[in-house]
Structure 1
Amino acid sequence: MVITVPATRPGEGLRPVDMGRDVPQIVELLRMVFGDALDIDDQQLLGGPSPVTEVIYRLSPATTRLTNGFVWQADGRIVGNVTLLTSKIWDRYLVANVAVHPTYRRRGIARAMMGAAASAVRTRGGRVILLQVVKDNTSAIDLYQSLGYVSLGHMTSWSAPVSRLRHVAPAAGDERVPPILALPGHRWREAYDLDVAALPPDLNWPEPLRPDAYRRTLWQRFGDFMSGRQAESWITADERGRLSGLASIASQWGHSHHVALRVRPDWAGRLERPLLAKVVRRLHYLPRGNVRIDHPDDDETMNQLLKEANFNVQRTLTHMRLDLSR
């Protein structure tokens, strides 16, 4: 693959992020490029409208994720950025925060930064790169496809303040409401199997679901208590006792409540309503704040139910993957 790099003055152009001086400028670039498209937790990371100083940056461990990757410098300022993140899988990397200042677009800057990121991953022995891009950003998607990325699917982020959620009827008409029980501790492996059957691992961002994600040992509960985390899960089962549906709420002090709802494919369309009704009822008893659910955008049943519960679409992202071993 040949990448054409725009001509620049000496000392400008593509270079790795300089941790000591670049992050405040990167934050300002991301604010300008993405603005309201950032999710609530990212907006909290990037802060308010006041300038980000190096002192504030150094006191905020969350911004360290911005220090890996590449920037493009022109006219004495940073006008492009791509963040390269490692993952818990040794050969799997993530690309995030691909941003170019509007004045400097269509000059090959994004292509050059993406090429540098891919080269860095190859040098480190990586085999796979994943990224997310806004679904209707056709120019970016065209760029990524030209670089060899393929689309894996689309995930929509829905959000709402807990105080504005509307209760959902657990059944429509004369439908029977299936029993919904708290996930028994010994069935955590079955819950994991159901989750990965309902949602491909690469659509979980930023990491695939851990095999022990639904396991709640005494030590894990203690750790959750000490760190202000809370996790609850509920299940439905078919006539043979196999798990057919799963809903969960993960909460942490200072962050949005995160909801996940999974239904076994052969039960799709029959369990979403009662499971969401259970989740909404429970959320009204949790600390006030925002709640978020990421769900495949082609699930029309869930789309209608989330609107009924007064969730609003925040954004829809296309997940893409590049296999470097090919």
Structure 2
Amino acid sequence: MSTLGTSLNQATTGKIRPLNAIRDLLKVADLVELCFHHNMDREGQRYVQQMRTASKDRHFLSWASNSLPLRGYVWEDQKEIVGNISIIPFRKAKKNIFLLANIAVHPDYRRKGIARLLTQKGMDHVRKRGSEAMWVQVEEDNLGAIKLYEELGFQARALRTTWDAASQLQPKEALVKSNITTRVAHFWPQQYQLLKKAYAEELSWYRMPDWENFRPGIKYWLYRIFVENDVRQWAAQKDGSFQAGLIWIQTRTRRAPLWLAAAPDVDTETLAALLLHARFHLASQNRELYIDYPAGELNAAFEEAGFILRRTLLWMCADE
């Protein structure tokens, strides 16, 4: 631990300790909201509210204190929590992967080395638990945090933007396009390759479906029957060529993603029409739709279809 302490400003008071969910959750929720309110979407707001609700439910917290997704560390000064890091485990292809999330420091305590120490503590924690890759997400314009993570061995791997559907779509806004249909089976090989390009394999551990489940055939229908019984797919074509495809899977939450595969030469009008078509047909689901996509790509089509740029995150990884 002495090597970690050397990066801490000598004027800083307080100490680092493991998160105690029963005692700390409400204060962590307040800190996360304070630090990230400027770009917090509705999912983030619900996440904070769930933490506050859970902090008042001792039966839940007694169970959750032993649940890995609530592992982490806090920085405490005079009984106030002024820093936090959450440690979230994932497993993909028999690999142990960890996301270091909610790395937050109260504005009055910044530039004192607390964020560095919390991150180092999180990194040590996951290494002792067999981490084969650890990830952080950081806003693209947070240059100070990016520099810190680079100094700690993280490398930039992907820059991705989240687009939120602005509001409920009114039927009159939907464009009627004859070139938009339900998914066409013979387009699948092209759609599959474009999905793999848009959603890189090294990020597939993070809430991403297995694209093989959507390959036309018996496996897809078994998936529909036994796993997800409400799956919607649409495709846009032009002169008989595949332009773009969308997949939507029913979720248990109010917020649901659209998975997009788009040809390199897709035009703005065609893609916007596809997105509007999906929004119109999903309006009755009463879900908040969003798309996660490589930053800087297809912006005009997203905007024309009524999506708003929520945030752009740099994904950084430290391989073991």
Provide TM-score, normalisation by structure 1: 0.79
- Partners of 1:162 and 1:294 in 2: CA distance: 19
In the alignment, residue 149 of structure 1 is paired with which amino acid? F
Alignment partner of 1:22 is 2:24? yes
- Partners of 1:257 and 1:103 in 2: CA distance: 36
Alignment partner of 1:68 is 2:67? no
Alignment partner of 1:116 is 2:114? no
8 A Cα contact 2:231 2:249, kept in partner: yes
- Partners of 2:171 and 2:28 in 1: CA distance: 35
Instruction: Tell me whether 139-148 or 279-288 shows the greater mean CA deviation.
Output: 279-288
- SS of the equivalent of 1:283 reads helix
Aligned pair in 2 of structure 1 residues 40, 204: CA closer, same or farther (>3 Å)?
Answer: farther
1:1-326 equivalences in 2 (<5 Å): 2-3=3-4, 4-6=7-9, 12-47=14-49, 52=53, 54-56=55-57, 59=60, 67-89=70-92, 90-159=95-164, 160-163=166-169, 167=173, 179-183=179-183, 191-203=191-203, 206-214=206-214, 216-218=220-222, 220-225=224-229, 230-235=230-235, 245-264=244-263, 268-270=264-266, 273-286=269-282, 287=284, 288-299=286-297, 302-324=298-320
Choose between structure 1 and 2: higher helix proportion. Answer: 2
- Partners of 1:310 and 1:115 in 2: CA distance: 41
- SS of the equivalent of 1:269 reads coil
Aligned pair in 2 of structure 1 residues 88, 111: CA closer, same or farther (>3 Å)?
Answer: same
Cα RMSD of the aligned pairs, angstroms, is 3.5
Aligned pair in 2 of structure 1 residues 168, 202: CA closer, same or farther (>3 Å)?
Answer: farther
- Partners of 2:315 and 2:170 in 1: CA distance: 30
Aligned pair in 2 of structure 1 residues 257, 272: CA closer, same or farther (>3 Å)?
Answer: farther
- SS of the equivalent of 1:153 reads strand
- Partners of 2:140 and 2:205 in 1: CA distance: 15
- SS of the equivalent of 1:163 reads coil
Deviation at 1:214, TM superposition (A): 2.3
- Partners of 2:160 and 2:150 in 1: CA distance: 18
Deviation at 1:137, TM superposition (A): 0.9
Deviation at 1:247, TM superposition (A): 1.4
Residue of structure 2 equivalent to 1:174: none
In the alignment, residue 308 of structure 1 is paired with which amino acid? E
In the alignment, residue 309 of structure 1 is paired with which amino acid? A
Aligned pair in 2 of structure 1 residues 321, 164: CA closer, same or farther (>3 Å)?
Answer: farther
8 A Cα contact 1:37 1:314, kept in partner: yes
8 A Cα contact 1:161 1:289, kept in partner: no
Deviation at 1:20, TM superposition (A): 2.1
- Partners of 1:133 and 1:303 in 2: CA distance: 21
Aligned pair in 2 of structure 1 residues 165, 253: CA closer, same or farther (>3 Å)?
Answer: farther
Aligned pair in 2 of structure 1 residues 188, 309: CA closer, same or farther (>3 Å)?
Answer: closer
- SS of the equivalent of 2:159 reads strand
8 A Cα contact 1:189 1:212, kept in partner: no
In the alignment, residue 198 of structure 2 is paired with which amino acid? A
8 A Cα contact 1:94 1:131, kept in partner: yes
Deviations along 1:268-288, whole A, 9 cap, x unmatched?
132564244123123223223
8 A Cα contact 1:23 1:57, kept in partner: no
- SS of the equivalent of 1:161 reads coil
- SS of the equivalent of 1:124 reads coil
Gaps of at least 5 residues in structure 1 are 172-176
- SS of the equivalent of 2:169 reads helix
Aligned pair in 2 of structure 1 residues 17, 194: CA closer, same or farther (>3 Å)?
Answer: same
- Tell me how many residue pairs correspond in the alignment: 306
Identity of aligned residues (%): 25
Gaps of at least 5 residues in structure 2 are none
